[in-house]
Chains A and B, each alone.
Chain A
Amino acid sequence: AQSVTQLDSHVSVSEGTPVLLRCNYSSSYSPSLFWYVQHPNKGLQLLLKYTSAATLVKGINGFEAEFKKSETSFHLTKPSAHMSDAAEYFCVVSAPNTNAGKSTFGDGTTLTVKP
């Protein structure tokens, strides 16, 4: 069994300030974890993924996430927000090495970036 909780439904930051989007997970195996971004009326784009290699994962557009097993967390960060970062962000937990539809999406976090 697996689940994922995105702790904030909305996050608002000013341009140039840090971004923190929080994600906690639960899994009965060693999971793969992902962050996806979705801009309005678009598909989802993979930002980064953790698949049991390095615990600090670097993604596209300056985003990073750290896998903390002891805290069952996979929070997404960016040092300096840009207006183009305004979007919906989804944290996803998956069972590795299966096509069995075993991905669970969080409810999403809406990031607003103020000028």
Chain B
Amino acid sequence: DTEVTQTPKHLVMGMTNKKSLKCEQHMGHRAMYWYKQKAKKPPELMFVYSYEKLSINESVPSRFSPECPNSSLLNLHLHALQPEDSALYLCASSQDGGEGYGYTFGSGTRLTVV
């Protein structure tokens, strides 16, 4: 299995809703990442988990809450989002030894906040 699987592919949520994005990989990668991508822009790093521990939080607002239940799963819990949070949310993973090996990205979740 050489894929990163993200669900759902599309999500529309109101500003008072709570929802979660899910990411799964079975490549044995021990680093997992959440990126946010706005249209016509490069991905922006949000969170990094290394060996299931949060190692980087790029000053992301607390309405985004990451969780890594095990080495194969990564969640992003969403609560009280704003319309400007609408974007493509990408999950990625990389091998032991880190980003020098490159990322495997999922197809993303297209989030619309109304």
Interface residues of A (CB under 8 A from B): 32, 34, 36, 41-46, 49, 51, 90, 94-103, 105-108
Q: CB of B14 within 8 A of chain A?
A: no
Decide: B97 and A97 in contact? CB cutoff 8 A: yes
B64 close to chain A: CB less than 8 A: no
A41-B110, A90-B42, A107-B42 known; A98 vs B104 contact (CB < 8 Å): no
Residue pair A99, B99 in contact (C-beta under 8 Å)? yes
Distance of B32 from chain A, by nearest CB (Å) = 9
A46 to B98, Cβ gap below 8 A?
A: no
Tell me whether B90 and A43 are in contact (CB under 8 A): yes
* Residues in B neighbouring A43, C-beta threshold 8 A: 4, 6, 90, 105-108
- By the criterion CB–CB under 8 Å, are A94 and B56 in contact? no
Q: Which residues of A contact B50 (CB under 8 A)?
A: 99
